A and B are shown apart, each in its own frame.
Chain A
Amino acid sequence: MSSFGEPIGSSVTAAESPAGAEPALGPGPDEAKVIRRERLALLLRSKTFIAGVVILGFWIVCAIFGSLLAPDDPLRTNPVSALQAPSSAHLFGTDTLGRDVLSRVLVGARDILIVAPLATLLATAMGTLLGLVTGYFRGFVDDSLGRLIDAILAVPVVIVGLLSMVALGPSTVTVIFVIAVVFTPVIARTVRAAVLSEVQYEYVAAARLRNERAPYILFGEILPNVMGPVLVEFTVRLGYAIFTIATLSFLGFGIQPPAPDWGLQIYQHYGLISGGYWWPVLFPALAIASLVIGVNLLSDGISQAFER
Chain B
Amino acid sequence: MSATAPEPTTVRTAPALELHDLEVAYRVRGVWRDVLRGVTLSIARNEAYGLVGESGCGKSTAAFAALRYLPRNGRVMGGSIHVDGEDLLSMNDAQVRQLRVSKVSMVYQNPTAALNPSIRIGDQVAEVYALADAAGDGSDERAREMLSKVQIADPASVMRRYPHQLSGGMNQRVVIAMALATNPSLLILDEPTTGLDATVEGEVLDLIRTLREEFETSLLFITHNLGVMAKMCDRMGVLYAGRLVEEGPVAEVFDRPSHPYTVGLLRCIPRGGVRKDKETLDTIPGFLPQLGADLPACVFADRCGLAEEICRKQEPPFHRVSDGHCSRCHFYDRANTLPRTTGAPPVLGESARQEPVLQARGVQKTFHQEGHAIHALNDVEFALKEGETLGLVGESGSGKTTLARLLIGLSPPDEGSVVELDGAQLAPTVNQRKRDQVRALQIVFQNPDSALNRRFSIHRILGRALTMLTGQRGEQREERLRQLAHSVRFDVRLIGARPAQLSGGLKQRVAIARAFAGDPRIVVCDEPTSALDVSVQAAILNLLVELQAKQKVAYLFISHDLGVVRYLSDRIAVLYLGRLMELGPADQVFESPQHPYTEALASAVPTAEGTERERIRLVGEIPSASSPPSGCVFHTRCPRYIGDVCKTQEPELREVEPGHFWRCHYSAEQLRELQKTPPKPRV
| Residue positions of A touching B, CB distance < 8 A | 3, 6, 8-29, 31-32, 35, 38-39, 41-42, 45, 200-203, 205-206, 208-212, 221, 224-225, 227, 308
Contact = CB atoms under 8 A, between A and B. Distances in A.
A118 B553 CA distance: 55
Contact of B501 (A11, A22, A39): A11
A300 B363 CA distance: 53
Contacts, number: 193
Interface in B551-581: none
Contact of A202 (B288, B451, B465): B451
Contacts of A20: 341-343, 542
A24 B452 CA distance: 22
B500 interface: yes
B3 interface: no
Given A9-B449, A15-B284, A211 B435 contact: yes
B642 interface: no
Contact of B287 (A26, A41, A45, A227): A26
B29 A308 contact: yes
A19 B494 contact: no
Given A14-B503, A23-B491, A27-B501, A209 B430 contact: yes
A19 B342 contact: yes
A28 B494 contact: yes
The 3 closest A-B pairs by CB, nearest first: A16-B505, A16-B536, A224-B455
A80 B338 CA distance: 97
B676 interface: no
Contact of A31 (B31, B73, B435, B501): B501
Contacts of A9: 449, 500, 504
A32 B499 CA distance: 11
Interface in B261-305: 280, 283-288, 290-291, 303
Contacts of A210: 438-439, 464-465, 468-469, 517-518
A221 B343 CA distance: 40
Contacts of B341: 18, 20-21
B454 interface: yes
Nearest to A224: B455
Interface stretch (B9-17, B81-89, B94-102, B440-448): B440-448
A308 B71 CA distance: 12
B32 interface: no
Given A32-B498, A42-B29, A24 B287 contact: yes
A14 B56 contact: yes
A19 B453 CA distance: 24
Contacts of B517: 210
B431 A3 contact: no
A13 B288 contact: yes
Interface in B369-420: 408-410
A12 B659 CA distance: 46
B29 A3 contact: no
B327 interface: no
B431 A202 contact: no
B453 A211 contact: no
Given A15-B505, A27-B287, A211-B435, A8 B454 contact: yes
A15 B501 contact: no
5 contacts: A11-B503, A16-B533, A24-B287, A25-B494, A203-B452
A8 B499 CA distance: 9
Given A23-B489, A24-B286, A211-B435, A221 B453 contact: yes
Contacts of A212: 468
Nearest to A24: B286
A209 B442 contact: yes
A14 B285 contact: no
Contacts of B342: 18-20
Nearest to B533: A14
Interface in B511-567: 514, 517-518, 532-533, 535-536, 538-540, 542-543, 546
Contacts of A17: 283, 285-287, 489, 505-506, 539
Contacts of A28: 493-494, 497, 501
B153 interface: no
Given A17-B285, A201-B451, A209 B503 contact: no
Contacts of A14: 54-56, 287-288, 503-505, 532-533, 536
B496 interface: yes
Contacts of B291: 12
Nearest to B287: A15
A308 B26 CA distance: 11
Nearest to B507: A9
A14 B430 CA distance: 33
Contact of B30 (A25, A42, A200): A42
Contact of B29 (A15, A16, A38, A224): A38
B619 interface: no
Nearest to B286: A24
Given A26-B502, A209-B442, A18 B283 contact: yes
B254 interface: no
A39 B29 CA distance: 6
Contacts of A19: 280, 283, 342, 489, 539, 542-543, 546
Contacts of A22: 489, 491
Contacts of B56: 12-14
A212 B514 CA distance: 14
B533 to A, nearest CB: 6
Contacts of B303: 15
A247 B494 CA distance: 53
B450 A15 contact: no
B30 A308 contact: yes
Contacts of A11: 500-503
B490 interface: yes
Contacts of B410: 205, 208-209
Nearest to A221: B453
B497 A15 contact: no
Contacts of B536: 14-16
Contacts of A13: 56, 287-288, 290, 502-504
Given A3-B455, A14-B56, A211-B431, A29 B496 contact: yes
A194 to B, nearest CB: 13
A75 B52 CA distance: 76
Contact of A8 (B450, B469, B543): B450
B520 to A, nearest CB: 11
A212 B464 CA distance: 10
B648 to A, nearest CB: 41
A3 B455 CA distance: 8
A3 B454 contact: yes
Contact of B539 (A16, A41, A227): A16
A26 B449 contact: no
Contacts of B54: 14-15
Contact of B500 (A10, A21, A208, A211): A10
Given A209-B442, A209-B443, A225 B455 contact: yes
A26 B283 CA distance: 16
Contacts of A15: 54, 284, 286-288, 303, 503, 505, 533, 535-536
Contacts of B490: 23
Q: Which of A16, A18, A29, A39 has the most CB of B within 10 A?
A: A16
Contacts of B287: 13-17, 24, 26-27
Contacts of B280: 19
A26 B503 contact: yes
B22 to A, nearest CB: 19
Contacts of A225: 453-455
B242 to A, nearest CB: 12
A206 B452 CA distance: 8
A61 B269 CA distance: 65
A94 B211 CA distance: 83
B341 to A, nearest CB: 4
Contacts of A29: 494, 496-497, 501
B402 to A, nearest CB: 14
